[in-house]
Chains A and B, each alone.
Chain A
C-alpha cells in the first residue's frame, strides 16, 4: 500500500517538530528517513503510523486518510517498531513475537496454524528461532532489536515502519536485516526506516528523505540525496559518496568548522 504525507506539520507539546513535509512511499520500496538528531525522524514515523495526530496536513494510506481507517484494519495493514526497546515483563521471546498476531484475534481466541506459521517464519527471518524460549530479559541488545522486528514481521504488514532498527546490530545482522527489508519490499511491502548509517541507506534503500529541523531538505534516489552539499547542510560534516566494488559507501571525512 502507498503511504503518503501531504503538507504535514506536527507538534510535540507547543513545539513544532515537522513543518510542511511531503513524502511518499510506494509498495516495493525501502524508504530511508535520515537526518541529524532532533531533525524530526521519529516524529515523522509516528505520524505516518497514525500514533501522533498531525497539527496540519494529512497522511494517506492506500489513498485513504489514516483517521478514516478503522483501528483494527490499520493494525493489520501497518506495523510500527519504535526506537524504544523496552519490554516490560520477562516474556519468552516467542510470546513477544506472537504479540504481532494480536490484530488478527478477538479476545481469548486460540492461535491458528496461520499464526504459528507467521511467528515461526518471523523468528527464522530474524535468526532468533534458537532464542524463542528464552526470557526477553536475558537476550542481548542486538538480539532484542531483532526480536522486536520479528514481532512486526509476524504482523505480515503491507507497510512496515521501523525507527532505527539497525542500531545496536552487528554488521552481519545489519546486512541481513536490510536484505530482508529488500526481500519483503520485493514481495510488495512498503518499508519506511529511520536510520543513521548513511552507507546502509545508500546501499539498500530505493529512496532517501533527508530531514533537517523538521523540514525535508532533499528526497529521492540515494545518489541524488546523499551528496556532499546536502550532507554538509544537514549534518555539518564533509562527506562523500563513493562506490567501492559496486557498493555505495558514504565516507564521513570530518566535522566542518
Chain B
C-alpha cells in the first residue's frame, strides 16, 4: 500500500505517561496564560484593590470554564469517534448541543432569562436532557452506530427547526439578537456561579466517558469481538450518550455552541496515542482544555482590534481543518 500518513504508528517514542504529562503541562500553562491575559493587562500591574476583583470575577471563571468546556468537548469527541469508529464524528452529531441551544433560545424567547440569572444555563441543561432522552428513545440500546447517528441527526434537525421558529416568531429584536449571539458561543461575562453550575455536571460526564475506554479499545475489532471480550455494548452506548449529554450539554448550556473542538482535538492527538481509542479518550481531556484556553487567549489578544466570539473563532479554525480532512480522506480513497 502506498497510502497514507494516517496509517503510521507515530510517536512510539512517547510513552502514554509522558504524553499525558506533556498534555497536562500544556493545559496548565494555557490556564495560567489565560489568567494573565485580558483587557486590564497583567494582574500585577492592576491596582491592588482591583486585582482580586478582576481575578475572581473575570479571569478565573473564564479560564475555568474554558478548561472544563474544552475538556468536555475533547473527551466527548474522542468517545464518539471511538464508539462510532468514525473519525468524522463529533459531539454535535448526537443532537445534544442542538437541544441545549433550543433550551436556551426558548428561555430567551419567553423572557425567562430576564427573571433570574441562571435561567439560561438551566434552560440549556433541560434542552440537552430532553435531546438525550429523545436520542436514546429513538436509537434504542441495541444496534450499531448508524442508528445512533440517524437518531442524533433527527433530533438535531428538529431542534434547529424549533430554534428557527423561535427566531421567526420573536417580536422583540433585542431578544432575537441575544439568541443569535448566544448560539455563537462565548466565555465572556460568566461568573463563578456559572462555573459551579456547570463544573460538577461536566466532570461527571467526563468521568462517565473515561470509563468507556476499555470498551472503545475493544470496539476497534468490531462489535462481536468486543462483546466476546466481555464488553456490555448496550451499557457502553448508554454511557457514551449520557456522558456526552452531561459533558457537552452542561458546557453548551453555559457558553453556547462551541464547535469543532470535539472534532479537531481527537484528530490531532490520535497519532500520538498510537491510534488507541482508550488512550486518546484520556489525552483529549487536557488536549481539549488546552486548545479552548489557547483559542480564548488569542481571542482576547485580538480583542482591541476585532471582537470575535469564541464559537465563531473555533468554526473559523475548524472549517479549514475539516476541508483538509476531506482532502486527505480523498487521497486515501483514490490513490
Report which A residues bind B (CB closer than 8 A). 46, 49-51, 71-72, 74-76, 78-82, 84, 86-92, 95-96, 99-100, 102-103, 105, 107-108, 133-135, 137-138, 148, 151, 155
Contacts and interface: CB of A to CB of B under 8 A. Distances in A.
Contact of A80 (B12, B214, B225, B275): B225
B228 A75 contact: yes
19 contacts: A74-B230, A75-B229, A78-B228, A79-B228, A88-B85, A89-B220, A89-B277, A90-B275, A91-B276, A92-B9, A95-B276, A99-B217, A99-B218, A99-B220, A102-B229, A135-B8, A137-B1, A137-B7, A138-B1
Interface in B173-217: 210-211, 213-214, 217
Contacts of A151: 221, 225
A90 B7 contact: yes
**Most-contacted residue by chain B among A92, A99, A103 (CB, 10 A):** A99
Contacts, number: 94
Nearest to A98: B217
B230 A90 contact: no
B134 interface: no
**B interface, how many residues as a size bin?**
20 to 34
Interface of B: 1, 4, 6-9, 12, 85, 210-211, 213-214, 217-222, 224-225, 227-232, 270, 274-277
Contacts of B225: 80-82, 151
Contact of B8 (A46, A80, A90, A99): A90
Nearest to A139: B1
A92 B274 contact: yes
Given A95-B274, A135-B9, A102 B214 contact: yes
Contacts of B232: 71
A82 B7 contact: no
Contacts of B218: 99, 102
Query: Top 5 closest A-B pairs, CB basis?
Result: A75-B230, A80-B228, A88-B85, A137-B7, A89-B275
**Most-contacted residue by chain A among B211, B214, B218, B221 (CB, 10 A):** B221
Contact of B217 (A76, A102, A133, A148): A102
B9 to A, nearest CB: 5
A133 B229 contact: no
Contacts of A75: 228-230
B85 A99 contact: no
Contacts of A99: 217-218, 220-221, 229
Contact of A51 (B7, B211, B227, B270): B227
A196 to B, nearest CB: 20
B211 A107 contact: yes
Contacts of B222: 82, 84, 86, 88
A45 B1 CA distance: 33
A46 to B, nearest CB: 7
B220 A88 contact: yes
Nearest to A151: B221
Nearest to B282: A108
**Most-contacted residue by chain B among A81, A89, A90 (CB, 10 A):** A89
A135 B7 contact: yes
Contacts of A89: 85, 220, 270, 275-277
B213 A138 contact: no
A148 B123 CA distance: 49
B115 to A, nearest CB: 44
A133 to B, nearest CB: 7
Contacts of A86: 221-222
